Amino acid sequence: MGRAEAAIALLVLVLLAASLTWLARRYALHRQLVDQPGERRSHHVATPRGGGIAIVLTVLLATLAAAFCFPAAAPRLIVFAVGLLLVAGIGWWDDHRPLPALWRLLVHMLAGALLAGLAWQATGNLLQAVLVFLVATALVNLWNFMDGINGIASSQAVVAALGLAAVMPAPYAFAPLALAAACLGFLPFNFPRARIFMGDVGSGALGYLLAAFVALASVATDINWLALLVPLMAFLVDAGFTLLSRMLSGQRWMEPHTQHVYQRAVKAGASHTRVTGVYILLGFSGSAVLVAIASLPSLQQGGVAVAWGGLLACLWGVMRVRLRNH
C-alpha cells in the first residue's frame, strides 16, 4: 500500500468512526444508557455512554481488511480480534448491566493470554509472552481508570499510537495508525464538550489495543520494552501510583473514585480541556522521547525510559501534594 492509498484508508476510518459514534449516541439515548453526575464522577451533566463501540468496530473492520490483504497473517489477526471482542464485549455488557469486578478481570486476563500466545508463537520467548500478558491485563484496567474527563483516554491513545507507529516498519505501522484514526473519529463527540462518553466498552478496548501494538512493536523492532512504554507513561504513572496509594491506605481500590491527579486538578477548578491538554502534551513528549532514543543501544533506551518515568513520578508527587485537599 502506497502513501496515498494509506492516507485515503485512514481518512475512511476517521469518517467511519465518526458515523458509528453518531449512531452509538442515538442508541445510548434510546436505551437510556446515561451516566449521571455524582460525588465519584468529574462531570456535571447527564451524558450518554458507550461511544467507544465505534472505535472497536472501526478497528475490527480494519483488521478484517488486513486479513483479506495479508492472508498469511489472517490466523494471528483472528486471535487478536477475538481478544478485542472479549474485552469490548465484557465492557459493553458492563455498560448495560454492571458486572462484578472479578468477572471483568478474568475476561481481561483471557484476552491478555491470547496476546501472550501470539507473542510466544512469534518469538519463542516465554519471558516476552509473560510481559505481554501482564502489560495487556494492566493496560485494559488502567485505561479504564483514567477515562474520567472529556477526551483524556482517546487523545492519549492517539498520541501513544502515533509514537509507536513512528518507530515501526511498514506495514506494521498501519496498525497503530488505524487506532489513531478511529479515535480521531470519536474525539469530536467527546472533546472539548462531551456529547457521549466512551464507556467501558471503549476504555478497556483502548488498553488492549495499545498493549497489542506495544507487543507488535517489540516483535517488529529491537527497541527495549521499557522504551516502548514511554508514550504511555503519563497514564501509567498517574494510574499506577494512585492505585498503589489507595491500596497502601487500605481503601477499596477497585471502587470508582476521583483521586487521580487529573481528577483532583478538575476538582480544584481546572477545566477538562486544560487538564486533557496537559496530558496530551505529556503524551506527545513521551512519543518524541521514544523516537529520539529508538536508534540507541537497548541498555541506553532502558535507562532513558526509567529516567522519563522517574521524572513523571516526581511530577505526580508534586501535584499530589499541591492538590491534596481536593
What would the pLDDT profile of 261-297 be if each residue is shown by its tens digit?
999 999 898 999 999 999 999 999 999 999 999 999 9
317 vs 222: CA distance, rounded Å: 33
What local confidence, expressed as pLDDT, does residue 311 receive? 97
Beta bridge partner(s), residue 47 = 35
48 grid coordinates: 450518554
Look at the chain and count its residues: 326
* Domain residue extents for the chain: 3-322
How would residue 250 be classed by pLDDT, with cut points 50, 70 and 90? confident
Task: Give the residue with greater pLDDT, 107 vs 250.
Answer: 107
pLDDT tens across 190-242, in order? Answer: 998 989 999 999 999 999 999 999 999 999 999 999 999 999 999 999 999 99
The chain-wide mean pLDDT, for the chain, equals 92
Query: What percentage of the chain exceeds 90 in pLDDT?
Result: 79
SS3 content of the chain, % helix, strand, coil (to 5): 75, 0, 25
User: Which of the four pLDDT bands, split at 50, 70 and 90, describes residue 6?
Assistant: confident
Closest C-alpha to 276, from 316, 311, 324, 234: 234
Mean pLDDT over 155-181 rounds to: 95
The answer to whether 325 is annotated as binding is no
Write the CB contacts of 115 (distance below 8 Å, at least 6 apart in sequence).
80, 83, 132, 133, 136, 208, 211, 212, 215
Is residue 248 over pLDDT 90? no
Environment class of 318 (CB within 10 Å of its CB; exposed 0-12, middle 13-18, buried 19+): exposed
* pLDDT at residue 324, rounded to an integer: 82
Query: Count of alpha carbons within 13 Å of 212, Cβ hemisphere only?
Result: 32
Produce one character per residue of 274-290: b if its CB has 16 or more CB atoms within 10 Å, e if not. Answer: ebbbbbbebbbbbbebb
200 is in an annotated binding site: yes
Residue 249: pLDDT band (50, 70, 90) is confident
- pLDDT grade, residue 39 (50/70/90)? low
Q: Which residue has the cell 500466545?
A: 117
Contact 232, 158 (CB under 8 A): no
Convert the pLDDT of each residue in 99-154 to its tens digit: 888 899 999 999 999 999 999 999 999 999 999 999 999 999 999 989 889 999 99
Of the candidates 146, 148, 171, 270, the residue with the CA atom closest to the CA atom of residue 160 = 146
Question: What percent of the chain is modeled with pLDDT above 70?
Answer: 96
Least confident of 2-16, 126-140, 155-169: 2-16
**Which residue reads 527497541 in cell numbers?**
223
pLDDT band at 37 (very low <50, low <70, confident <90, very high): confident
Higher-confidence position of 43 and 229:
229
The residues, ordered by sequence, that sit 6+ positions from 144 with a Cβ below 8 Å of its Cβ are 91, 200, 203, 204, 207
Q: Which of 198, 227, 202, 228 minimizes the C-alpha distance to 213?
A: 228
Q: How far apart are CA 29 and CA 35, in angstroms?
A: 11
Which residue in the block uniquely carries the three cell numbers 497502601?
248
Checking if the pLDDT of 325 tops 80, the result is: no
Classified as helix, coil or strand, 176 is helix
pLDDT at 99: 85
